[in-house]
Amino acid sequence: MSAVWLVTGAAGMLGQDVLARLAAEDLTAVAADRAAVDIAEPGSVRAAFEKHRPAVVVNCAAWTAVDDAESQEDAALRVNGTGPAVLAEACREHGAVLLQVSTDYVFAGDGVEPYAEDGPTGPRGAYGRTKLAGEQAVLSTLPETGYVVRTAWLYGAGGGNFVRTMIKLEGVKDTLDVVDDQRGQPTWTVDLADRLVRLGQAALAGTAPAGVYHGTSGGETTWFGFTREIFRLLGADPERVRPTTSEAFVRPAPRPAFSVLGHDRWAVAGIEPVREWREALAEAFPALVAAERR
C-alpha cells in the first residue's frame, strides 16, 4: 500500500498545486480543507489521522492576512501556532512526517545578506510571531521528522496574489506607483509544491535531515522590479511603473525591507534549490493571465 499524503489547507493557492504535484507523481493524496479538518482542534485532527493514516502531512493551512493579524493575533495564533502544534503531536503519535510551510516574516527584515536557515529570527509583527510559534512547535515536537519550509512573495494561478493584481491593474491604470525599498524573492507555488513533495519523499527515504529549509526562488528584486517584469511579459511599457517608498503605503503591519533567504540546506537533502525568479515567472505567466482574465 502506498504512503498517504494528507494536505491541509488544500483549497488554497499552494495547496492546490501540492495536490497537482502529488497527482503527477501518482502518489496517494487526501485533500483536507478547513471544513474537513480543523487543524487547531485535536479531536478533528485525531479523526483525520485515524481515518487516513497519513505517512506525510503537508500543512498549507495558514492565516495569511498580515494586517488583520495585528488586531486579531489570538485568532491568527490559533491557525498559525496552535494548528501546527496539534498536527505535530498527531504526527509524533502516528510516526508521520510533517512539512510545515512558514514565512520570511519570522525574520526582522533588516538584513543585507540572505538569511540563513539557521539564522536568528526576530519577527516584528503579529503574523511573524504566530508563524514562528508554529515553527517552534513543529521542530521541538518532531526533532527527527519535522520540516519547516519558509517561503515568500508567493504567486500562483489558484488564488489572489500580487501578480494577478498587477495583471488586472495594467489594463485599467495609466501608471502604477510601486514600492522600491522592499527586497525579496517572487516564488511560484508550482515550484514550491515540487520542492515540498520532493522533500517529503526524501524524508520518507531517510535522505533529508529534519529542520528548516528555504523554499524561495533564486535571485532577488523589489516589488517595483517585479512589477516592471510583469508589464514586460504583458507587452506593456515598463516605464508606466514608477518607483515609490514604503511610506506611501502605510499599513497596520510592518513589512520587512529585506526578505531574501539563503538556500544552502537543500544540498544536504540532495535537492536543487528553486530556480531563478524570472525564469519561473515567464513559465507561469500564461496560466496567470488566463486565470485573471477568465
Angle in degrees, 0-180, between the axes of helices 189-205 and 277-293, rounded to the nearest 10: 120
HEC letters along the chain: CCCEEEEECCCCHHHHHHHHHHHHCCCEEEEECCCCCCCCCHHHHHHHHHHHCCCEEEECCCCCCHHHHHHCHHHHHHHHHHHHHHHHHHHHHHCCEEEEEEEHHHCCCCCCCCECCCCCCCCCCHHHHHHHHHHHHHHHHCCCCEEEEEECCEECCCCCCHHHHHHHHHCCCCCEEEECCCEECCEEHHHHHHHHHHHHHHHHHCCCCCEEEECCCECCEEHHHHHHHHHHHHCCCHHHEEEECHHHCCCCCCCCCECCECCCCHHHHCCCCCCEHHHHHHHHHHHHHHHHHC
Is-contact 232 165, C-beta < 8 A? Answer: no
Structural domains of the chain, with CATH: 4-160+187-218+260-275 (3.40.50.720)
Amino acid identity at 31: A
Residues acting as catalytic residues = 127
Find, among 47, 214, 24, the residue nearest to 135 by Cα.
214
Q: Please give the angle made by the CA atoms of 36, 8 and 27, to the nearest 5 degrees.
A: 110
* pTM score, whole prediction: 0.98
The pLDDT tens digits along the chain (294 residues) read 689 999 999 999 999 999 999 999 999 999 999 999 999 999 999 999 999 999 999 999 999 999 999 999 999 999 999 999 999 999 999 999 999 999 999 999 999 999 999 999 999 999 999 999 999 999 999 999 999 999 999 999 999 999 999 999 999 999 999 999 999 999 999 999 999 999 999 999 999 999 999 999 999 999 999 999 999 999 999 999 999 999 998 899 999 999 999 999 999 999 999 999 999 999 999 999 999 988
pLDDT in tens, 142-176: 999 999 999 999 999 999 999 999 999 999 999 99
Write the pLDDT tens digit of every residue in 103-142.
999 999 999 999 999 999 999 999 999 999 999 999 999 9
